[in-house]
A and B are shown apart, each in its own frame.
Chain A
């Protein structure tokens, strides 16, 4: 456990370290309750080349809690968003830290972060199944959520021809 950084300090730390590889960084604050205490969220877009290094630097700050990796199919690219939280354990100073990367659809590959954060295994396996992203170096790449005989090359969260539309079924239909 190291020092408690403010969101501005965290963004500055990464910008100093990675310069132009940090494509976009914004801080969002929202107040809640009567006392209008604020919570902070950082949205940061990084180049996929430096992604693993960014995670390494994040680990130096404080061991982050990886909540989930979510993904968007943005037609040309696939966007992965890693939702971390840092500064937990301190009253009202936790920061939600979202790091996003763009992967080209022709070659959607990214390194695993399981060697730094072993708890990422389940969510990384899920991304392989549902978005067709190849996680390089994942310790276990078996299917987790879908049935073993679920067709290959169908990724339920894709919006293109590899989406699940072929399998779609309306339960209201009577097939008698």
Chain B
């Protein structure tokens, strides 16, 4: 009898349609339906942003930072502003600190609702995608009302914020918040009580607390594994030090932490609720006063040009901690070094323990559960011996949908 040796398949996934700063190319080693090993390659959207900063002044960099990621277009310039304020020792007016929190939490609501839609799409629930994105449009309307833009907000300024929220704007904010609260229950019911969603997400893509710590995961990904790590709670920046805020973990709702996809869904829903609460607190407690420490830009730039030192700015973005490092040399207008770290950067390594042992059909939902842009999974080619099959995102998505249908029977 001819002896057969067991060989594993290699599946490259990506990178067409990469998104975020970190688009991803995966190579999966597959044994039958099970994933044995994962290899990641990044950099398809490497635009050399940090290098480009050498020729620009800090105000110009704000715009550059905004375009690192279109979904986190508030948190990158916010972290940059924090880093510059740290280096130059600029004190931000109190009112601006509260306004910054409102903008930050509004972005979190937008981002988490967007994510909920994408996650639903990945398991074949397109109706929910449309439902959540309809909610998101309401959040975008509010963003547009407060900042003037839908996506790139251009709202933050070094030493403050650009637009104030006046008294006559409050009713619209309250209306929108009421709308979110009313619809929140609907979304919660769809995600947490639905039998099919539970079957697809419970016990799938587990990240243990130990792995989350060791692999330096950040944001909802690490909190869903039970690590209490939230920059808003741990550090006093913006007005978060004044507000009542508690670190959310999924055990607040279910009493236990499993670190699976289901927990990451719960985590994000809890955070949406928390964000609504934080905005309400800010609106109530906002003190009167200036919104920017130095309104004259030329004067601000002259002040920054004399700065010789370094600073770190950290902010809790929707996807996790974002950190910017800035160094000024006191001679040039542009910073000597600018280093950006987006949250997904740290959430890539945790994918490996999450995906190992899962099925091919689970790739979309597991990868989406850390909230990268799942569009990366656009093209899959299966290499079997010398033959090569190609599998695109549609097919991968179809596999995922079929698994849902099978479970529903």
Contacts and interface: CB of A to CB of B under 8 A. Distances in A.
Interface string A21-43: 00000001011111101110101
Contacts of B48: 156, 164
Interface in A100-139: 117-123
A63 interface: yes
A50 interface: no
Interface in B189-238: 213-218, 227-229, 231, 233-238
A35 B163 CA distance: 23
A146 B46 contact: yes
B125 interface: no
B216 A120 contact: yes
A81 B325 contact: yes
A39 B228 contact: no
Interface string B323-365: 1010100000000110101000110110000000000000000
Nearest to A144: B42
B339 A70 contact: yes
A110 B31 CA distance: 38
Contact of B236 (A39, A87, A145): A39
A98 to B, nearest CB: 7
Interface string A145-167: 11100000000110000001000
B275 to A, nearest CB: 18
A38 B234 CA distance: 11
B229 A89 contact: yes
Contact of A88 (B51, B229, B336): B229
Report the contact-size class of chain A (Cβ under 8 Å from the partner). 35 or more
A4 B329 CA distance: 35
Nearest to B89: A30
Contacts of B371: none
B289 to A, nearest CB: 10
A38 B86 contact: no
Contacts of A157: 50-51, 337
A164 B337 CA distance: 15
A51 to B, nearest CB: 18
B148 interface: no
Interface stretch (B70-78, B240-248, B253-261, B388-396): B240-248
Contacts of B314: 67, 85, 96
Nearest to B216: A119
A87 B236 CA distance: 13
B161 interface: no
B235 to A, nearest CB: 5
A55 interface: no
A146 B213 contact: no
B86 A90 contact: no
B216 A34 contact: no
B38 to A, nearest CB: 12
Contacts of A122: 42, 345-346, 348-349
B239 interface: yes
A91 interface: yes
Interface in B29-58: 41-43, 46, 48, 50-51
B229 A164 contact: no
A94 interface: yes
B351 to A, nearest CB: 11
A33 B241 contact: yes
A7 interface: no
Interface in A72-96: 72, 81, 83, 85, 87-94, 96
21 contacts: A30-B86, A31-B236, A32-B237, A33-B94, A34-B94, A37-B241, A63-B213, A63-B214, A67-B323, A68-B339, A81-B325, A83-B312, A88-B229, A89-B229, A91-B233, A96-B312, A98-B312, A118-B349, A119-B214, A123-B345, A143-B43
Interface of A: 28, 30-35, 37-39, 41, 43, 63, 65-68, 70-72, 81, 83, 85, 87-94, 96, 98, 117-123, 143-147, 156-157, 164
**Which 3 pairs from chain A and chain B are nearest by CB?**
A119-B216, A145-B43, A94-B234
Given A35-B242, A63-B213, A83-B323, 10 more contacts: A39-B237, A41-B86, A65-B216, A67-B341, A68-B345, A72-B336, A91-B233, A92-B241, A119-B214, A144-B41
